[in-house]
Amino acid sequence: MSDFTSEFWHLYVAGLTLVSIIACLILLWISGTTKVKAHDDNTTGHVWDEDLREMNNPLPRWWVYLFIITVIFGLVYGALYPTFGTFQGKLGWSSTGQHEAEVQKMQEAIAPLYARFDGMPPEKLAGDAQAMAIGERLFMNNCAQCHGSDARGSKGFPNLTNTEWLWGGEPAAIKTTITEGRVGMMPPMAAAVGGADDVTNLAHYVMSLSGSPHDSIRAAQGKASFTSCAACHGADGKGNPLMGAPNLTDDVWLHGWGVEAITRIINEGRTNVMPAQNKLLTESQIHVLSAYVWGMSNKPQE
């Protein structure tokens, strides 16, 4: 109900709900007081399937009482719980509040388990079997959807098992990435490079930086255009972890390999988003998860 942009819709929903409940009582009263002219055999004259005749009998008392109880329950429920528009109810209950209370209860229950890990450095923590078992479960629940259950990623999602890191692979950098999230953006660069032929030449030059198959003549012609890319990727193309700019001299290609793929990226740009996890995980959980992620591409201390 907090999504309402004006008081009208709040009042509309509240009024419609209340009118619907009252209408049920009115309908019950009408059905109990309206007299229907019946035949001598106490039927109304309505016949279905040739021999099914409607009798003119009153509603069963148990049904009437149950109907009234249901209406009263609806009014009492609406007074206690959120029912009528933005009215929160006398008990002040909300699904958000219940969720937060359950999360808080869960965090208090697991706090003693994580207390042993809080003072351990990530390099040491990565060698603790119990901590890594917990880290694996945290990874499966929160990271595997994008990076895969084996953490090897896929197109557009980084591989966490190698030593190539867009934002740095040190434990502190990994913890910052998990906690705060990351947004990596490469804007479309075709206009800065020149025409379509210039973009193709630049793509061949980028391929040459990693020793990938390329046209050496086109690569030589595209080298000058790389100055538009050097601000982020560096003059040598080795990237910049402070900006999340990838290293173009290795054999890791996050968004596809080849001249065609690179040309498309230069023309269209790319945006990658790693959401912050500090709303879902506690600081202690992030500490363990960071050590687990670090340990997949580094040898932990025993």
The mean pLDDT of the chain is 90
Can you give the pTM of this predicted structure? 0.72
Same domain membership, residue 66 and residue 17: yes
Domain count, the chain: 3
Q: Is the pLDDT of residue 300 over 80?
A: no
Domain termination site, one of 80, 104, 138:
80
Same domain membership, residue 279 and residue 165: yes
Same domain membership, residue 231 and residue 163: no
Same domain membership, residue 288 and residue 157: yes
Q: What is the CATH number of the domain that holds 191?
A: 1.10.760.10
Cβ contact 266:97 at 8 Å: no
Residue 63 lies in a domain: yes
Return the residue matching tokens 């020149």: 194
Same domain membership, residue 209 and residue 158: no
Same domain membership, residue 189 and residue 165: no
Sorting pLDDT into bands at 50, 70 and 90, what band is 246? very high
Residue 109 lies in a domain: no
Give the DSSP letter string of 146-165.
HH-TTS--BTTB--SSSS--
Same domain membership, residue 133 and residue 73: no
Same domain membership, residue 50 and residue 29: yes
Q: What is the pLDDT of residue 31?
A: 82
pLDDT tens-digit readout, 151-210: 999 999 999 999 999 999 999 999 999 999 999 999 999 999 989 999 999 999 999 999
Residue 51 lies in a domain: yes
Domain termination site, one of 80, 102, 133:
80
194 to each of 124, 190, 222, 228, how far by Cα in Å?
Answer: 51, 6, 11, 11
Range(s) of the domain holding residue 152 = 120-181+275-295
Residue 290 lies in a domain: yes
Give the chain's count of helices (H) and strands (E).
Answer: 13, 4
Q: Is the pLDDT of residue 33 over 90?
A: no
Same domain membership, residue 280 and residue 148: yes
Same domain membership, residue 200 and residue 226: yes
- Its sign, for the CA torsion 243, 244, 245, 248, is positive
Residue 115 lies in a domain: no
Same domain membership, residue 29 and residue 177: no
Residue 49 lies in a domain: yes
Residue 94 lies in a domain: no
